[in-house]
Amino acid sequence: MDEPQRRPSQSGTFTTPFSNFRKIVDASGALHFGGKAILHAQGVNFSNGASFAINMSQLQLEDELGKGAYGTVRKVLHKPTNVAMAMKEIRLELDDSKLNAILMELDILHRAVAPEIVEFYGAFFIESCVYYCMEYMDAGSLDKLQAAGVPEDVLARITGAMVRGLKFLKDDLQIIHRDVKPTNVLVNRKGEIKLCDFGVSGQLEKSLAKTNIGCQSYMAPERIKGESQNNVGTYTVSSDVWSLGLSMIEMAIGRYPYPPETYANVFAQLTAIVHGDPPELPEDFSDDSRDFVARCLHKVPELRATYAELLEHPFLQADRGRSVDMPKWVIEALGFREKKLAEERRQKLLHDTSAVQSV
């Protein structure tokens, strides 16, 4: 059978023909998510009564912020309010896992109202593309700001926000994030820290999630082994705590703690995570910070600290009375990144010039 012809979406990417989605798209062009939400060209209506009105004609397309397997993220200006937003475009496919991921993220975003969660402005659907608009965090994700290493006072401030956000998801929404890593933590120039990317988040069912989804290299040992405390699944809240600890070390040293280039293959890397000693913060960090990370990276899931325990840990308690100039750190981190990128461009130009001359 010939592959269905694809055509460009309203923002320029190619999509699968609208006619292929008749089972989930009604005659008016509205997308139905199994009775839980209806997306249409003018916004989204959720089954709990919440609704958000926004549409493409209100948006001025600006810079592309990122592109991944699921789609594109672009900065847009909401013309009626003059508010900058981040618009995620997801090309719809007839794939249950992808549809579930879209619904999961939309459901979490519209219910997760907290200072540590990126704000949701609305969503809409046009001819096989789902678009949703979120708060624009103008400094980007943490992985873009950590190259110089994050100092301890800033690390404490970031970690506190992450723990509060994760605790809110667990306590108020019964949700495990399942993809905790610096890439999924956003920062703005005011120094605010917010969690994002809930496409693989999972509802807590009987205290255990039974699927292995997320970024493999941040998996806790028990996830990699495919085991759990009750041998009926592979994911508990403590797995996110492991990912938190790993993310802290990555921020502190400016690189992933299990660098792939030091292992013969992925299997060797995963074996080190499961059977090797967990990584530690550098010795020039305080005893409290090192103990905090150690409590996150305990090999036995049941012995890892809970979010409530982490919030009461001396490492985060000390941050409550401390003044941290987060906007200054953000500016310095952005400046360091720009210098690094400029140097990489210069080196590439020198390499390319040398290669041409040697021909």
Residue 220 lies in a domain: yes
Residue 310 confidence (pLDDT): 99
Residue 70 confidence (pLDDT): 67
Residue 308 lies in a domain: yes
Tokens 């493999």 — which residue?
216
Domain of residue 241 covers: 140-336
Residues 76 and 181 grouped into a single domain: no
Burial of 31 (0-12, 13-18, 19+ CB in 10 A): buried
Residues 122 and 197 grouped into a single domain: no
Residues 185 and 295 grouped into a single domain: yes
Residues 85 and 37 grouped into a single domain: yes
Residue 42 lies in a domain: yes
Residue 239 confidence (pLDDT): 92
Q: Which residues does 172 contact at the CB level (< 8 Å), separation at least 6?
A: 114
Q: Which of 179, 197, 240, 319 is catalytic?
A: 179
Tokens 């941290």 — which residue?
324
Residues 71 and 172 grouped into a single domain: no
Residue 139 confidence (pLDDT): 97
Residues 130 and 219 grouped into a single domain: no
Q: In 3D, which of 307, 313, 314, 320 has the Cα closest to residue 163?
A: 307
- Chain centre distance of CA 316: 22
Residues 160 and 127 grouped into a single domain: no
Residues of the chain with pLDDT under 50: 1-7, 13-19, 203-215, 227-232
CA distances from 329 to 27, 63, 139, 190, 336 (A): 52, 24, 11, 10, 10
Which residues are known binding-site members for ATP? 88
Residues 119 and 25 grouped into a single domain: yes
Residues 309 and 208 grouped into a single domain: yes
- Is 170 within 8 Å of 176 (Cβ atoms)? yes
Tokens 């929404």 — which residue?
173
Q: What is the CATH number of the domain that holds 277?
A: 1.10.510.10
Residue 356 lies in a domain: no
Q: What is the CATH number of the domain that holds 116?
A: 3.30.200.20
Parallel/antiparallel/unpaired status of strands 193-195 and 185-187 = antiparallel
Q: What does the pLDDT look like over 87-133, one tens digit per residue?
A: 999 887 756 777 777 888 888 889 999 999 999 999 999 987 899 99
Residue 333 confidence (pLDDT): 96
Residue 343 lies in a domain: no
Residue 207 confidence (pLDDT): 35
- Is 91 within 8 Å of 16 (Cβ atoms)? yes
Tell me, yes or no, if 179 is annotated catalytic.
Answer: yes
Q: In 3D, which of 146, 144, 147, 181 has the Cα closest to residue 162?
A: 181
Both tokens of residue 156? 């404490």
- Is 219 within 8 Å of 273 (Cβ atoms)? yes
